[in-house]
Amino acid sequence: MTSNAPTRFVLPQERIPTAWYNALPDLPAPLPPPLHPGTKEPVGPADLAPLFPMALIEQEMTQAPTVEIPGAVIDILRLWRPTPLLRARRLEEALGTPARIYYKDESGSPSGSHKTNTAVAQAFYNRADGTKRIATETGAGQWGSALSFACAQFGIECKVYMVRASYEQKPYRRVLMETWGASVVPSPVDQPDHPGSLGTAISDAVRDAATRDDSHYALGSVLNHVLLHQTIIGLEAKEQLQLAGEDRPDVVIGCCGGGSNLGGIGLPFLTDEKVRLLAVEPSSCPTLTTGKFEYDFGDTAGMTPLLQMYTLGHDFVPPSIHAGGLRYHGDSPVISLLVQEGRMSAVAYPQGKTFEAAVQFARAEGKIPAPETGHAIRAAIDEALAAKESGEERVILFNYSGHGLLDLQAYDDFNHGRLIEA
């Protein structure tokens, strides 16, 4: 007997959101301003102008409740958006839980993760500002590949500083970047024996952009405008949950590296106090769960503005776990403030536990998640098991931030007992 119970909730293309949700006016406390790395005074738009186009600097600070999405951006997002919301019924069955588990699938974008949502917007505003070239950093390559794709759409040259360890060990995302026309170099550029980190790669990219008139810089996470662009995820998911007959999720879950996919799915639910928000991070880079809430630099060399955030220290070098996108010493100031104010909670898992969850998900639902996404899945499964324990119906929503088809070495290590316990 087949069941007609729906598992996919799909919005028609014309229902793609036309404005992003801005969380800044709805935060429980004012966001402390970024500080100049030299003077330690609050930075003004002029300080940021060598790095970013003015439209993005304005979005970084705006108190407007929404920001209109430019038509040219929507035209490109329509290549894969709206993304589907799925109900993980087969996973629910495998767990024997009364919880209803939904996930928003961002893995169908050209580069395979949510990062294209902001990459397209950032490339658009740079193009409108006359930027000829963008320099950026990338860890395992998800952000670099998203930006390479977006720059190709707008005819902008793209230079990517890739963390050396990944550059040498993970060639396939470099191949994506080069296929979309970017040029990729290992970082740190001046220390050929150093394995690199996101912090060193940001230093390289900022130095590049700040010293060339034709170039700007772009960051794939952390900053307010990045989270703003990602809110399209949660705005769509809200409508799709209605299609599924749900009033609201009880909990919204995202893995957290710099906070952009988590903010993207979670912030549109911010003002609904009945919705819990949950950040998931690796035990080996436990920024929100054990870091200090203080001003710190975004990069290793101390060239970026200081941000008030949870941080492990800007010289912290995390062990090389497979979830490269979660290896960042700091976190988004918006996400950090929500945790500090008690509006969001955070949990950390060792990587073995996240791969167990990722494999359980893959065997039930079919898709192979990115190692980063495995963190969100771990927490979603634990929420579902807690609901089973207490016998309550719980509505769980998590963000499926990307696929793991270019992370198969990680699965091979897990499958054959070679994963380091970090």
Ligand X SMILES: *Cc1c(COP(=O)(O)O)cnc(C)c1O
The answer to whether 383 and 394 are in contact (CB under 8 A) is: yes
- Closest contact distance (angstroms) between CB of 148 and ligand X is 14
- Closest contact distance (angstroms) between CB of 318 and ligand X is 13
- Closest contact distance (angstroms) between CB of 190 and ligand X is 26
Q: What H or E segment, with its residue span, contains residue 373?
A: helix 371-390
The answer to whether 264 and 230 are in contact (CB under 8 A) is: yes
- Closest contact distance (angstroms) between CB of 326 and ligand X is 6
Residue number, 142 or 308, with CB nearest to ligand X: 142
Residue number, 252 or 255, with CB nearest to ligand X: 255
Residue number, 67 or 227, with CB nearest to ligand X: 227
Q: Which two tokens stand for residue 275?
A: 């919705």
**SS3 state of residue 307:** strand
Residue closest to ligand X (Cβ):
402
Residue number, 156 or 370, with CB nearest to ligand X: 370
Q: What H or E segment, with its residue span, contains residue 103?
A: strand 100-105
Q: How many CB atoms are closer than 10 A to CB 12?
A: 7
- Closest contact distance (angstroms) between CB of 266 and ligand X is 11
- Closest contact distance (angstroms) between CB of 402 and ligand X is 3
- Closest contact distance (angstroms) between CB of 239 and ligand X is 21
Taken in order 285, 172, 234, 274, is the CA torsion positive or negative?
negative
φ/ψ of 371, rounded to 5, equals -55, -35
Residue number, 101 or 370, with CB nearest to ligand X: 370
Residue number, 200 or 260, with CB nearest to ligand X: 260
* Residues whose CB falls within 8 Å of the CB of residue 112, separated by 6 or more in sequence, listed in order: 142, 145, 370, 402, 403, 405, 406
**SS3 state of residue 99:** coil
Residue number, 238 or 375, with CB nearest to ligand X: 375
Residue number, 83 or 260, with CB nearest to ligand X: 260
Checking 176-182 for CB contacts under 8 A at 24+ apart, the result is 176/111, 176/141, 176/145, 176/148, 176/149, 177/138, 177/141, 177/144, 177/145, 177/148, 180/145, 180/148, 180/149, 180/151, 180/152, 181/148, 181/151, 181/152, 182/144, 182/147, 182/148, 182/151, 182/158
Helix-strand-coil split of the chain, %, nearest 5:
40, 20, 40
Instruction: Please state whether beta strands 183-187 and 100-105 pair in parallel, antiparallel, or not at all (unpaired).
Output: unpaired
**SS3 state of residue 187:** strand
The answer to whether 191 and 203 are in contact (CB under 8 A) is: no
- Closest contact distance (angstroms) between CB of 93 and ligand X is 26
- Closest contact distance (angstroms) between CB of 181 and ligand X is 20
Whose tokens are 């588990």? That residue is: 101
The answer to whether 153 and 127 are in contact (CB under 8 A) is: no
Residue number, 87 or 115, with CB nearest to ligand X: 115
Q: Which residues bind ligand X (CB under 6 A)?
A: 113, 115, 142, 221, 255-262, 325-326, 370, 372-373, 401-402
- Closest contact distance (angstroms) between CB of 132 and ligand X is 26
Residue number, 182 or 255, with CB nearest to ligand X: 255
C-alpha distances in Å from residue 326, one per residue of 125, 266, 395: 27, 17, 26
